[in-house]
Amino acid sequence: MSWSVHLPALMLAVPLFGAFSTPIVALGGRRARTIWSVLISSVLLVLSFCLLQYVATEGTAVYVMGGKAWNLTLPSGMAYPVRIILEVDSFNSFIAVIGCFASLAGVLFGLRFLDRFSGKIWYSALYFLLTAGMLGLILTGDLFNFFVFLEIASVSSFGLIAYWRDRPESIEASFKYMLVSQIAAMMVLLAIGFLYGRYNLLNMAAVGKVIQFGLAEKVALVFMITALAMKCGAFPMHMWMPDAYAEAPASVTVLLVVVSQASLVGLCRIVFSVFGSAIVGDVVPWALITLGMMSMFFGVSMAVVQHEVKRLMGYHSVSQVGYMLMAFGVGLLAMGDPRQMADFGMTSMKGGIFHMVNYVTYKGLLFLVAGALYYVTGTRDLDKMGGLAKRMPFTTFMFVIAAAAISGIPPFNGFVSKLLIYESSFAVHPALSVVALVTSILTLASFVKVFQTAFLGPEKKEFSKVKEVPASMVLGMAVLTVVILGLSLFPTWVVSHLVEPAATALVDKGAYIGAVLGGGI
């Protein structure tokens, strides 16, 4: 048995080890802590690539925690799933790779960004704990484990959002996020209870195998969708998002973006892999589409009027999440009908998954750029900035790439995924793609505003001594820039080799169940 069988568990073990070993290593001084945290996150990135490779060649990986088989055979001969499993298919592993990229970028950026503050040891510990929670959310194949990782990710992000604890705003943002995510977590727990009470099962694949669409399941689905839409910042409960994203240190915000996407991965797992074709009727897909449309429109219209750079980007996150919700809703709408699925359903799923990945990369980069602006100017108010392009050539270059990608300007990756979403949503109703297009235009408008006010214009005399940010911060931003350029330059290869298998794996409920249960239960 080769070591690569243990890759899914290592993906969780390495960041957890990092979280608890960093405070000890940090006793050796700043250099030791720097080397150690970069080492841990680089190892994690390499492991995630190995996992992607393993899944691509060997098929879906199922890892059973603390046992050989996922089930327990009772004396009566009945096999019963008792173990906690991690299940990794092409969808999970792809998102995990991007999450690890974002985590590495955040670590590199945070090395110098937080230099002026104390409490860096606990910061690194919480940072790796948040990484572990995020990866757990993405990789798990067990309902209750999903809840546990959700809480691990939430608790560590409460601490990180309140990192600048002398600022009243950070504490307030952290408290707001805490309320929202506690309500969401309790709803998830209730939903898990409903499913457990019905089937006595917690294994996602096993539940998916036997699920009917009765009243208890409907209640569970409603709770799950509400809770996870709250966690990923969809429209009616989006208030925490701009606050938390703006008040957290920029290196943390990158990871918060990934965590919100991890909740969305969980939502997809529940909707497609557990329920899937069991969902009867058009109510659930249309609910997702409506949530998506409202998030898109209201998010972007709030963003246009903002004057604070990180709040502006936070509102854009709301509107970007809307794109994915709409894409998955359209995919779910086409689910029952093979012809519709071939017509526009698969395109929509591909667009949703690709947009998710793109969103993590360019939004992460944008938040890092905002952090860099804050680092050199000491303010986040756009009206006080100006003429920074000459002073910070690298940052400006990377900002332009990220802004072009988020606005969907060809040839960047945002364009490819948005085009897939436009195409497929047009087949359902033209109004959907009209809203998406208008959102895209307003996004472009607001980023032109940021570019013009912060980077262009006459130099202000209070910034005459401003220099480019330190090398490690540039390196952190460069990691994400390279990913964006890679995704942009080879869109055909990426779509056919990474996105399409991911979409197929997500839609194919039978394969997901079969990978765990094999023949029968």
Helix (H) or strand (E) holding 184: helix 168-199
Task: Report phi then psi at 509, rounded to 5.
Answer: -70, -35
Among 129, 178, 427, 516, binds other proteins (CB under 8 A): 178
Among 56, 79, 183, 456, binds other proteins (CB under 8 A): 183
For the record, the structure tokens of 70 come out as: 């996922």
Residues 225-264 that bind other proteins (CB under 8 A): 243, 246-247
- Does residue 73 interact with other proteins by CB under 8 A? no
**Minimum distance from CB of 309 to other proteins (Å)?**
14
Number of residues that bind other proteins (CB under 8 A): 37
- Does residue 172 interact with other proteins by CB under 8 A? yes
**Minimum distance from CB of 109 to other proteins (Å)?**
24
Among 202, 267, 325, 517, binds other proteins (CB under 8 A): 202
- Does residue 169 interact with other proteins by CB under 8 A? yes
Listed ranges 32-40, 180-188, 358-366, 474-482: which one lies at the site for other proteins (CB under 8 A): 180-188
d(CA 488, CA 344): 23
Among 63, 158, 367, 512, binds other proteins (CB under 8 A): 158
**Minimum distance from CB of 177 to other proteins (Å)?**
10
The full DSSP string for 246-284 is HHS-HHHHHHHHHHHHHHHHHHHIIIIIIIGGG--SSHH
- Does residue 151 interact with other proteins by CB under 8 A? yes
For other proteins, give the closer residue by CB, 98 or 248.
248
Tell me which residue of 265, 248, 320, 273 sits closest to 135, measured CA to CA.
265
Is residue 451 packed enough to be buried (19+ CB in 10 Å), middle (13-18) or exposed (0-12)? middle
Listed ranges 196-204, 398-406, 490-498, 510-518: which one lies at the site for other proteins (CB under 8 A): 196-204
**Minimum distance from CB of 153 to other proteins (Å)?**
12
- Does residue 213 interact with other proteins by CB under 8 A? no
For other proteins, give the closer residue by CB, 98 or 152.
152
d(CA 344, CA 334): 7
Listed ranges 113-121, 148-156, 342-350, 463-471: which one lies at the site for other proteins (CB under 8 A): 148-156
Among 38, 56, 190, 456, binds other proteins (CB under 8 A): 190
Among 141, 159, 364, 476, binds other proteins (CB under 8 A): 159
For other proteins, give the closer residue by CB, 246 or 427.
246
- Does residue 459 interact with other proteins by CB under 8 A? no
**Binding track, positions 90-129, relative to other proteins; x by CB under 8 A:** ----------------------------------------
- Does residue 186 interact with other proteins by CB under 8 A? yes
Tell me which residue of 251, 19, 248 sits closest to 121, measured CA to CA.
19
Asked if 255 contacts 103 with a C-beta cutoff of 8 angstroms, the reply is yes
CB burial of 46-85 (b: ≥16 within 10 Å; e: otherwise) equals ebbebbbebbeeeebbbbbeeeeebbeeeeeeeeebebbb
**Minimum distance from CB of 81 to other proteins (Å)?**
11
d(CA 169, CA 146): 30
Among 119, 168, 411, 430, binds other proteins (CB under 8 A): 168
For other proteins, give the closer residue by CB, 49 or 196.
196
Listed ranges 117-125, 169-177, 271-279, 326-334: which one lies at the site for other proteins (CB under 8 A): 169-177
Is residue 402 packed enough to be buried (19+ CB in 10 Å), middle (13-18) or exposed (0-12)? buried
Among 100, 173, 385, 454, binds other proteins (CB under 8 A): 173
Residues 297-326 that bind other proteins (CB under 8 A): 306
**Minimum distance from CB of 168 to other proteins (Å)?**
4
Asked if 253 contacts 341 with a C-beta cutoff of 8 angstroms, the reply is no
Asked if 216 contacts 194 with a C-beta cutoff of 8 angstroms, the reply is yes
For other proteins, give the closer residue by CB, 202 or 450.
202
- Does residue 419 interact with other proteins by CB under 8 A? no
Helix (H) or strand (E) holding 225: helix 215-231
Chain centroid to CA 159: 19
- Does residue 449 interact with other proteins by CB under 8 A? no
For the record, the structure tokens of 27 come out as: 């006793």
Helix (H) or strand (E) holding 80: strand 79-81
Pairing of strands 71-73, 61-64: unpaired
- Does residue 148 interact with other proteins by CB under 8 A? yes
Task: Report phi then psi at 85, rounded to 5.
Answer: -120, 155
Chain centroid to CA 433: 23
d(CA 216, CA 222): 10
Chain centroid to CA 6: 24
Positions touching other proteins (CB under 8 A) are 82, 144, 147-148, 151, 154-155, 158-159, 162, 165, 168-169, 171-176, 178-179, 182-183, 185-186, 189-190, 192-193, 196-197, 200, 202, 243, 246-247, 306
